[in-house]
Structure 1
Amino acid sequence: MTTMLGIQHYDAFLLACIALNLTPGLDTFYILARSGREGHAVGLGAALGINAGCVVHTLAAVLGLSALLMTSAVAFAVLKYLGAAYLAWIGLRMLLSRQHERRPTQTRGTGFAAAFRQGMLTNVLNPKVALFYLAFLPQFVSLHAVHPQLGLLVLGASFIGTGLSWSLVLAMAGGHIHRLLQRKPQVGQWMDRICGAVLLGFGLKLAFQQRS
Structure 2
Amino acid sequence: MLELQTIVMFVTASTLLALAPGPDILFVLTQSMSKGSRSGIVIALGLCSGLIFHTTAVALGVAVIFQTSALAFSLLKFVGAAYLLYLAFMAFKDASKSKLESSKSRLSLISLYKRGILMNITNPKVSIFFLAFLPQFTNPEVGNVTGQIFTLGALFMLCAFVVFTLISLLAGRVGAWFSKTKNGEKILNRVSGTIFAALAVKLAFTSK
What whole-Å deviation, never above 9, does each CA across 1:81-104 have from its counterpart, x for those lacking one? 100111111112212331316656
Overall identity of the aligned pairs, in %: 29
How do residues 7-22 of structure 1 correspond to structure 2 at under 5 angstroms? 9-22=6-19
Closer, same or farther in 2 for the Cα pair 1:103/1:70, shift >3 Å?
same
How do residues 53-132 of structure 1 correspond to structure 2 at under 5 angstroms? 53-97=50-94, 98-100=96-98, 105-107=103-105, 110-132=107-129
Closer, same or farther in 2 for the Cα pair 1:111/1:169, shift >3 Å?
same
How many angstroms apart in 2 are the aligned matches of 1:164 and 1:102? 32
Aligned counterpart for 1:27 among listed residues 24, 29, 40: 24
CA contact (8 A) 1:86 1:122 kept: yes
What displacement does 1:174 show? 2.2
CA contact (8 A) 1:34 1:42 kept: yes
What whole-Å deviation, never above 9, does each CA across 1:121-149 have from its counterpart, x for those lacking one? 11100000110111100011124554110
How many angstroms apart in 1 are the aligned matches of 2:101 and 2:23? 25
Unaligned 5+ runs, structure 1: none
TM-score normalised per structure 2: 0.91
How many angstroms apart in 1 are the aligned matches of 2:99 and 2:83? 21
How many angstroms apart in 2 are the aligned matches of 1:143 and 1:206? 35
Closer, same or farther in 2 for the Cα pair 1:204/1:102, shift >3 Å?
farther
RMSD over aligned CA atoms reads: 2.0
Match of 1:198 in 2: 195
CA contact (8 A) 1:70 1:76 kept: yes
Unaligned 5+ runs, structure 2: none
Match of 1:164 in 2: 161
TM-score normalised per structure 1: 0.89
CA contact (8 A) 1:38 1:104 kept: no
| Count of paired positions | 207
